[in-house]
Structure 1
Amino acid sequence: MRIVMATQNPNKVREFSELLGSRVELVPLPSGLPKAPETGETFLENARQKALFYATYVEDPVLADDSGLVVPALGGEPGVYSARYAGEGADDRANNDKLIRALRSRGLRQAEAWFACALVLARKERVMMEVEARVDGLVHDAPRGERGFGYDPLFSPQGEARRFAEMSAEEKHRFSHRARAVRKLLARLPAPGAGGWV
């Protein structure tokens, strides 16, 4: 089963390929496509926008993910703006630095937080599947670890002292919001040869 991931981010394609396993051949978006709108107020709304937008450009089903970090003590920031928290085009380091400053400005060394993931699978003009998942934990005011991407150096899942960036990919997949969402998605995908992709 071939699915187009609604991103050209190689880290994201690699992570989802690992999670989806051999049932799915995951490929990135073709280059040169316009940027999909992301004007939703929730992760699910944004994922739906992206999936339907790119499904008009490609033949295969499109899987769109919208994920992010929610910190209630910061009013829910960075939330749906997680990827551009420090501004359009900001890199992971800039986003992490802004989050650290926000925590420290409130006198916080750590705070309760969760990572959320919404996945939407669409083909042509139709949404075929939607799933959501989250992982609770703590966000910290200093990074640790060299692995992962995004806010992984700042986040430790519930019951773990280590940050996501200190874990191997296999260890992170035991906890992560994306892994939980993908498990829900895989449970609903049609079995090979079963059809259902008209």
Structure 2
Amino acid sequence: MKKLVVASNNEHKLVEIREILNDADVQVLSLKDMNIDIDVVEDGNTFMENAYKKAKEIYQYIMEKHMGEYMVLADDSGLCVDILKGEPGVFSARYAGEHGNSQKNNEKLLKNLKDVKIEDRKARFVCAMVLLAPDSREIKVQGEVEGYIVDKPSGTGGFGYDPIFYLPEFKKTFSEMDSKDKNAISHRGKALEKLRDKLASF
């Protein structure tokens, strides 16, 4: 079985990745599982640049420490709102200033969209993924899902901007969907499906 290190300790993200890759011939490990304590600075201009930088730094660390033969997967994802010219974009996790404070990020976004009609609140989640493997092999994929930003949070599932990201075809926010339905159509789910297909030929 191939060993895949995910360049993250985000438990929500790891659960989604493990669920979607559960039928692939890979063992999914976190940075914590590998005793790797590296905080990669995400200073790229695009999601793909950030994902590649994270994957490369973690992969190089594993190689330099002779930890064994592993593949490394990194992703960068975020929310892009059309009327805000793509904000929060690559700054999604730290939109309100404090990294990972979902409540404050959501509050800031809703404040910036105050008085904007729902039909003008079109947004999309984007997930860029980079997998680096021995022999200089690499995979780059990207998944997107479109929806709208509602004016107040709804639902208890998911994380990040999920409570305010609404999908008209399901009449639910991401937070109101069960994980199976969400993974089938989410930006991360779409990216992972592409990744899984490409992994089959590795």
Report how far residue 179 of structure 1 moved: 0.6
Is 1:144 the counterpart of 2:148? The answer is no
Which residue, out of 110, 116, 120, partners 1:108? 116
Is 1:117 aligned with 2:121? Answer: no
CA-CA distance at 1:175 after TM superposition: 1.4
Q: Aligned partners of 1:26 and 1:82: how far apart in 2?
A: 25
SS in 2 for 1:13: helix
Name the CA shift for 1:31/1:87 in 2 (closer, same or farther; >3 Å): farther
Q: 1:176 to 1:123 in 2, by over 3 A?
A: same
Work out the CA distance in 2 between the residues paired with 1:140 and 1:127.
41
Q: Offset of 1:127 from its aligned partner?
A: 5.5
Residue 7 of structure 2 aligns to which amino acid in structure 1? A
Q: Could you tell me the percent identity over the aligned residues? A: 40
Query: Which amino acid is 1:82 matched to?
Result: S
Gaps spanning 5+ residues in structure 1: where? none
Q: Does 1:133 align with 2:143?
A: yes
* TM-score, with length taken from structure 2: 0.88
Paired amino acid for 2:61: Y
2:51 corresponds in structure 1 to: 47
User: What's the RMSD between the two structures over aligned residues?
Assistant: 1.7
1: CA distance, partners of 2:72 / 2:9 = 13
Alignment counterpart, residue 34 of structure 1, candidates 18, 34, 38: 38
Count of residue pairs brought into register by the alignment = 190
Aligned to 1:74: 84
Query: 2:16, 2:183 within 8 Å by CA — same for their partners in 1?
Result: no
* C-alpha distance in 1 between matches for 2:60 and 2:102: 30
Counterpart amino acid of 1:64?
A
Deviation, 1:89, is: 2.8
- 1:19 maps onto 2:29 in alignment: no
For the 8 Å contact 2:80–2:86, the answer to whether it is kept is: yes
Question: Could you report, residue by residue, the CA deviation over 1:36-62 in whole angstroms, capped at 9, with x for unpaired residues?
Answer: 121111111110010001101224111
Q: CA deviation at 1:157?
A: 2.5
Letter in 2 for 1:37: V
Give per-residue Cα distances to partners, 1:133-191, cap 9 Å, x unaligned. Answer: 10011111210000000100001225221000001001111210111111111111135
> Which runs of 5 or more structure 2 residues have no equivalent in the other structure?
63-67
1:75 & 1:186 partners in 2: Cα distance? 32
- In 2: Cα distance, 1:176 partner to 1:148 partner: 11
Counterpart residue type for residue 159 of structure 1: E
Amino acid at match of 1:13: L
Name which of structure 1's ranges 28-37 and 14-23 shifts more when overlaid on structure 2: 28-37
Counterpart check, 1:163 vs 2:173: yes
Alignment of 1:180-195 (within 5 A): 180-190=190-200
Query: 1:108 offset after TM fit, Å?
Result: 1.4
TM-score w.r.t. the length of structure 1 is: 0.90
